[in-house]
């Protein structure tokens, strides 16, 4: 509908230039050019500490498949997948309840989920550190109970390990999954669910056989929206993780700051970017195929 009304830019050069020039130039100068430089650097060599010669080498990409780095890539993917799965388990019932809640309750529940999402990421991570620390609230709480019962209690190591990283990633990314899930469930035709219930299927069976298959495209895109930021997260593993919970982003940061190996860091960040693109492309293809199959 809208496409037919679009005006050819040649017919109104003045207005087109007025609205197009500034944002296009900004995007080119302050987004495309910086990324292009990083891309070029990924094929370069550090000649002196401050110069990089673009020599066209693939050395850094080959080095990224060194077992040390491959392991970090796999571990990051695994942690992100675990995070996404946990978010789905925790978030699905919440999204379901929001979808079928009365209007007023729905607005409040959405706000309940959104508000932490708008709160500063660093503050949220810091808040979690205070909870998980050796002398944090969880350990202090258990300690006090143990003391009252006269038991011996050693504080649990809750912070600076992989457990803390996954917990932190779930904490930070949960709204990313609940909102798309809600959007997907909200589009469902309720009469189908009611028909299934009327015909004697239980709630769990209705969810498994009606809700999930129908809402699948939305669920998949929600999973993707959660997985991508989790895969590239820097702050959570940095602050909550231990020495063995580094993710890709931490390795990239080290190349650019302490290790000062920009070409290798550039190659790693482009591998991360290609992974992101492959995931998005895969999801788009899947969604397209699904749409074609449906009448």
Partner 1 sequence: MRREAAGPLDYLARWPLRLWIGLVALFLYAPLVTLMLFSFNESKRNIVWTGFTFDWYFKAFRNAGLLEAFTNSLAIAAIATAISVVLGALVAVACWRFRFPLKPAFEGVLALPIVVPEICMGVAMLVFFARVMPWPAGLPWPFNLGAIIIAHVSFCFPFVAVIVRARLASFNRELEEAAKDLGASEWRAFIDVLVPHMRPALVAGALLAFTLSLDDFVITFFTAGPDTVTFPVKVYSMVRFSVTPEVNAASTVLILLTVALTAVGLRLQGRDMARSRGI
Interacting residues with partner 1 between 23 and 42 (CB under 8 A)? 23-24, 26-27, 30-35, 37-38, 41
**Per-residue string for binding with partner 1, 111-150, x by CB under 8 A?**
xxxxxx-xxxxxxx-xxxxxx-x-xxx--x----------
- Which of 187, 190, 208, 290 lies at the binding interface for partner 1 (CB under 8 A)? 190
From candidates 5, 154, 244, 294, binder to partner 1 by CB under 8 A: 5
Residues 161, 134: contact at Cβ < 8 Å?
Answer: no
Using the contact rule CB under 8 A, the part of the chain among 156-164, 214-222, 265-273, 282-290 near partner 1 is 265-273
Distance CA 130, CA 180 (A): 30
Phi, psi at residue 54, to the nearest 5°? -80, 105
Q: Are 72 and 246 in contact (CB under 8 A)?
A: yes
Residue span binding partner 1 (CB under 8 A) among the ranges 56-64, 78-86, 150-158, 186-194? 186-194
* Nearest-angstrom CA–CA distance, 248 and 240: 15
Q: Is 12 in the site for partner 1 (CB under 8 A)?
A: yes
Q: Cβ of residue 287: shortest distance to partner 1, in angstroms?
A: 15
Gyration radius (Cα) of the chain, Å: 24
The rounded distance, in Å, linking the Cα atoms of 112 and 182 is 13
Please give the angle made by the CA atoms of 272, 90 and 120, to the nearest 5 degrees.
60
CB 19 → partner 1: shortest distance, Å? 4
The answer to whether 45 and 52 have CB atoms below 8 angstroms apart is yes
Q: How far is CA 106 from the centre of its chain?
A: 25
77 touching partner 1, by CB under 8 A: no
To partner 1, the closest distance from the beta carbon of 118 in angstroms equals 5
Q: Which stretch binds partner 1 (CB under 8 A): 53-61, 107-115, 213-221, 281-289?
A: 107-115
Residues 150-179 that bind partner 1 (CB under 8 A): 171, 174
- Cα torsion for 155, 161, 164, 166, to the nearest 10°? -150
Query: Min. distance of Cβ 295 from partner 1 in angstroms?
Result: 25
Q: Give the burial string for 220-255 (b: 16+ CB within 10 Å, else e).
A: bbbbbbbbbebbbbeebbbbbbeeebbbbbbbbbbb
Question: How many residues of this chain interact with partner 1, rule: CB under 8 A?
Answer: 91
- State the nearest-atom distance from the C-beta of 22 to partner 1, in Å: 6
- Widest distance between CA atoms in the chain: 85
Is position 75 an interface residue for partner 1 (rule: CB under 8 A)?
no
Question: Of residues 212, 280, 281, 285, which one binds partner 1 by CB under 8 A?
Answer: 280
Contact region with partner 1 (CB under 8 A), list: 56-64, 91-99, 145-153, 281-289: 91-99
Which of 54, 68, 70, 105 binds partner 1 (CB under 8 A)? It is 105
Three-point CA angle 69, 74, 76, nearest 5°: 95
Convert residues 223-262 into a mask of x (bound to partner 1 by CB under 8 A) and - (unbound): -----xx-xx-xx---x--------xx--xx--x-----x
CB of 290 to partner 1, least distance (A): 21
């Amino acid at each position: 509908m809208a496409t037919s009304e679009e005006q050819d830019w040649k017919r109104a050069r003045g207005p087109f230039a007025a609205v197009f020039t500034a944002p296009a130039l900004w995007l080119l100068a302050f987004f495309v050019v910086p990324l292009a430089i990083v891309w070029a650097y990924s094929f370069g060599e550090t000649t002196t500490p401050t110069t990089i010669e673009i020599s066209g080498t693939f050395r850094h990409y080959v080095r990224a498949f060194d077992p040390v780095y491959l392991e970090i890539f796999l571990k990051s993917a695994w942690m992100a997948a675990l995070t996404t799965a946990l978010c789905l388990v925790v978030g699905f019932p919440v999204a379901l309840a929001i979808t079928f809640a009365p209007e007023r309750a729905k607005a409040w529940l959405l706000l309940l989920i959104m508000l932490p999402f708008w709160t500063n990421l660093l503050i949220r991570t810091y808040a979690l550190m205070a909870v998980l620390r050796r002398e944090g609230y969880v350990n202090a709480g258990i300690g006090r109970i143990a003391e009252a019962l006269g038991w011996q209690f050693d504080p649990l190591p809750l912070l600076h390990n992989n457990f803390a990283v996954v917990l932190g990633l779930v904490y930070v990314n949960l709204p990313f999954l609940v909102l798309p899930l809600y959007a997907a469930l909200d589009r469902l035709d309720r009469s189908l669910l009611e028909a299934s219930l009327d015909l004697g299927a239980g709630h769990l069976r209705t969810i498994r056989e009606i809700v999930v298959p129908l809402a699948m495209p939305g669920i998949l895109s929600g999973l993707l929206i959660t997985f991508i930021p989790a895969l590239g997260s820097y702050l959570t593993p940095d602050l909550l993780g231990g020495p063995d919970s580094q993710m890709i982003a931490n390795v990239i940061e080290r190349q650019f700051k302490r290790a000062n190996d920009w070409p290798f860091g550039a190659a790693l960040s482009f591998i991360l970017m290609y992974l992101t693109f492959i995931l998005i492309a895969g999801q788009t293809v899947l969604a397209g195929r699904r749409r074609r199959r449906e009448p």
